Each structure stands twice: as structure tokens, then as C-alpha cells.
């Protein structure tokens, strides 16, 4: 591609990135910053406040189920958008991003390993941040114990993993590389974005997710595969969401110490 071609393409990609992020996780980051600001300016310390994931939307069980499923469905539309945009530019999700089922053993093995390597230190970091007053108490599931709660939480975990890893890693890193950004800045942008939309949970969540973002970005640069990241993220979220829903309250009391 000529220098002149690059000059016309890069602004277009920049505008595209901004629009995609404002429609998806960039929008979440803005709301997360506002939410954290509200918590910090409230009349209670941050550590005495809660951040609830997967909240109940309606007291009517089947209406709540409808809202939950619609929320999951519409949250995945940005994934369809970014895959369309990449394929329009002859970037194959399978060949260039590793979004396929050609290497299940590799994807599941590395996904489980990444989940274990990140999950345990992540829990310790959240606990430490809570004790230091830098994080809110995290409630992974606000759903009532309906029969459909666990299946919906599993779907929500998959949705989170697919959305975040395809948009924040596969799409964003690809576009930033096409824009001529250096590898260090590509990793930093991906990691900071991942941390920023978790800021509603507190500063510990920001740091933990930013570190996770660096690890995931480096893994993608090395392997060119997003699927292991989706597997790892799904395992982490299923363990958090479903575990909180099913485990006795006494086992979870450390979260509110």
C-alpha cells in the first residue's frame, strides 16, 4: 500500500474504532467511570458499597428471563459488526484471528491454563484491594434462585467472553496495527480499555483486568488465536457467576470482610 493510501486509510480506521467502541465497550467504560465517581462521592467508603453483576431486572420471573436473554443477544451485536468490518477488508476471523474450532485441544488447554493462572491471583488482588478500601464488594450474581438462573449466568459468561475478546483483542489490536501503532501502544490500549470498563467495581478491578489485558494481548500476538482467550474468560466468569449463585453464603462471606 502506498503512503498516500495509508494516509487515507488510517483516519478511516480511527473513526471506525471510535464508533465501534462507543457502541460497545467504550460506552461501558464511560458508564463505569461515572459509576466509580458516584461511589467515591457517596457518603460511605468504597469498600462498604457493592458492585452487582447480572442484576435482576424485573420481580416477575419470566419477564426477568426475557430481559436477561435480550440483554445477552443485543450485547453480541457489536461482535457481528466488527467481524463484518474485518471480513469486508479481507481479514478472515478464522485465518487471522483464530476464531474457529480447528484446534480444540490447544484452545481448551491454553484457555484452562490462562484461567487458572489469572483467576487465583485475581481473587487475591480483589481481596487485597477490598481490605485497602480501593474496591467495592463484588456481587457476581444478583439473580433470584429461579430454575433458569444458572443457564442464564452461563450464557452471560459466554457473552462477556465473546464480546470482550473479539472486540478488545481481535478487532482492536488488528485495527491499531493497521493504523501503524507500535506493539507496546497496541498492548497498552487494549489493556487499559479492558481495565476501564471494570472501574465501576473499583481500582483493584481496574488493575487486575488491565494486567489480564496485557497477558491476553501478548498471547494473541504470539499465537494469533482468540479462541483460547474466549475459553479462559468463559471459565473465569462461569466460576464467578455460577459459584456465587450456588455456593452457601458462609463460603462467600470473605467478599464482605
Query: What are the pLDDT digits (tens) for 100-142?
Result: 999 999 999 999 999 999 998 988 898 899 899 999 999 999 9
- Which pLDDT score, from 0 to 100, does residue 10 have? 64
Could you give the 3-state DSSP secondary structure of residue 99? Answer: coil
pLDDT single digits (tens) 59-88: 999 999 999 999 999 999 999 999 999 999
**2 burial level (CB within 10 Å; 0-12, 13-18, 19+):** exposed
Residue-number span of the structural domain to which 57 is assigned: 3-256
DSSP 126: H
**85 burial level (CB within 10 Å; 0-12, 13-18, 19+):** middle
Strand partners, 50: 137
- Kindly tell me if the per-residue pLDDT of 253 is higher than 70: no
- Kindly tell me if the per-residue pLDDT of 175 is higher than 90: yes
- Which pLDDT score, from 0 to 100, does residue 6 have? 45
Indicate the number of domains in the chain. Answer: 1
Contact 12, 168 (CB under 8 A): no
- Which pLDDT score, from 0 to 100, does residue 111 have? 98
- Kindly tell me if the per-residue pLDDT of 8 is higher than 80: no
Contact 180, 94 (CB under 8 A): no
Beta-carbon contacts of residue 146 (< 8 Å; ≥ 6 apart): 61, 64, 65
Question: The pTM is what?
Answer: 0.92
- Which pLDDT score, from 0 to 100, does residue 2 have? 40
- Which pLDDT score, from 0 to 100, does residue 37 have? 98
How many of the other CB atoms lie within 10 Å of CB of 255?
16
- Which pLDDT score, from 0 to 100, does residue 247 have? 73
Amino acid at each position: 500500500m502506498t503512503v498516500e493510501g495509508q494516509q487515507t486509510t488510517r483516519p478511516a480506521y480511527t473513526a471506525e474504532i471510535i464508533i465501534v467502541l462507543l457502541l460497545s465497550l467504550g460506552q461501558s467504560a464511560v458508564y463505569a467511570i461515572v459509576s466509580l465517581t458516584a461511589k467515591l462521592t457517596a457518603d460511605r467508603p468504597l469498600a462498604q458499597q457493592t458492585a452487582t453483576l447480572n442484576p435482576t431486572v424485573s420481580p416477575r420471573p419470566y419477564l426477568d428471563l426475557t430481559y436477561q436473554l435480550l440483554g445477552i443477544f443485543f450485547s453480541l451485536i457489536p461482535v457481528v459488526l466488527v467481524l463484518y468490518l474485518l471480513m469486508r477488508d479481507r481479514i478472515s476471523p478464522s485465518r487471522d484471528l483464530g476464531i474457529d474450532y480447528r484446534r480444540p485441544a490447544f484452545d481448551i488447554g491454553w484457555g484452562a491454563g490462562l484461567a487458572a493462572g489469572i483467576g487465583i491471583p485475581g481473587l487475591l488482588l480483589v481481596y487485597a484491594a477490598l481490605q485497602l478500601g480501593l474496591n467495592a464488594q463484588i456481587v457476581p450474581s444478583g439473580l433470584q434462585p429461579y430454575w433458569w438462573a444458572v443457564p442464564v449466568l452461563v450464557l452471560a459468561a459466554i457473552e462477556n467472553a465473546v464480546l470482550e475478546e473479539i472486540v478488545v483483542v481481535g478487532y482492536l489490536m488488528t485495527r491499531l496495527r493497521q493504523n501503524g501503532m507500535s506493539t507496546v501502544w497496541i498492548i497498552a490500549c487494549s489493556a487499559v480499555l479492558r481495565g476501564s470498563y471494570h472501574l465501576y467495581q473499583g481500582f483493584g478491578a481496574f488493575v487486575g483486568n488491565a494486567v489480564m489485558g496485557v497477558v491476553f494481548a501478548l498471547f494473541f500476538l504470539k499465537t494469533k488465536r482468540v479462541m483460547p482467550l474466549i475459553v479462559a474468560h468463559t471459565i473465569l466468569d462461569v466460576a464467578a457467576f455460577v459459584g456465587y449463585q450456588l455456593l452457601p453464603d458462609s463460603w462467600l462471606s470473605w467478599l464482605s470482610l
